[in-house]
Amino acid sequence: MVASHPVTHVTLGRMNDARVLIATATLLLTSVLLIRKVPGAILFGIVFGSLLAVLSHAPVFKTADGFAAFAGLPGGSPIAAPVMPTDIFLAMDVKGALSMGALAIVFTFLFVEIFDTAGTLIGLADRAGYLDEDGNLPRGNEAFAADAVATTVGAALGTSTTTAYIESAAGIEEGGRTGFTAVVVGILFALSVFLWPLASAVPGAATAAALILVGAMMATHLNQINWDDYSEVIPAFLTMVAMPFTFSIANGISFGIISFVALKALSGRAREIHPVMGILAVILIARYIWLNE
């Protein structure tokens, strides 16, 4: 739906493209199901979009040469033994990571992970109604510890980062509020490794609607911003636009913190700056000056 442009960088894509049409149809159906409070609305939407793509033979499935119609399940069966990442299992260069030249890279990844996790956990906790009256996350230490362990173990096993994901808002919207939800999802994911061929029948056009709706869910909390105070509005705006434009939650939070501290300090309202925020702003500025590779 959004395409590149040589002059304006982005522009409206071809609305008659099969991917756009399937994504739009899936978005409309899922939105209606959510409005009608149908349990499993997002899951039903993804199934609908996948079936629509397969049955219509639309060229929406990613291939090495572009996009093509559904070519069938790998091996012709929805069940297959999981493919283990043997070539990247525990493939770590610890000595190289500890070298002086890698310190900046390690620090950058640490910084990104901390802020990505913080932004995601706070957003999800707010959506689930877990934040206290001061906007703090109860038992935050335990949540960060769990995320840190999962990130470390996942990296060692060779998977993509097993960190907190904003897509969990879909589960919260369906009523998942406790750790038992995560346990059940984890068990189902473990079982699903034997059903990986089915993933080939789910195009990005079918899952795009779910991501769009997750964004809509998170946007409902914008009413908590004091829109009459520019020292609050401008940092909030910079945070919101920097995340998609830089493709990084960490960058968005960083711009928000730096601008918040700078605006408060320069407008004579330094007393409203928490000491931790001031320290973070200094560290973030230093990071962008010296470690922005």
SS3 (DSSP) at 67: strand
Whole-number pLDDT of residue 101 = 61
CA distance 42 to 236: 28
Whole-number pLDDT of residue 51 = 93
Alpha helices in the chain (DSSP H): 18-35, 41-56, 94-97, 103-128, 140-157, 169-173, 179-192, 204-219, 230-246, 249-266, 275-290
Whole-number pLDDT of residue 28 = 95
Q: Are 70 and 53 in contact (CB under 8 A)?
A: yes
Structure tokens at 153: 């173990």
Whole-number pLDDT of residue 103 = 65
The DSSP secondary-structure symbol of 225 reads S
CA distance 291 to 293: 6
pTM above 0.85, yes or no: no
Whole-number pLDDT of residue 102 = 64
Helix axes 275-290, 103-128, angle to 10 degrees: 140
Low-confidence stretches of the chain (pLDDT < 70) are 85, 97-105, 108, 291-293
Structure tokens at 106: 């390690």
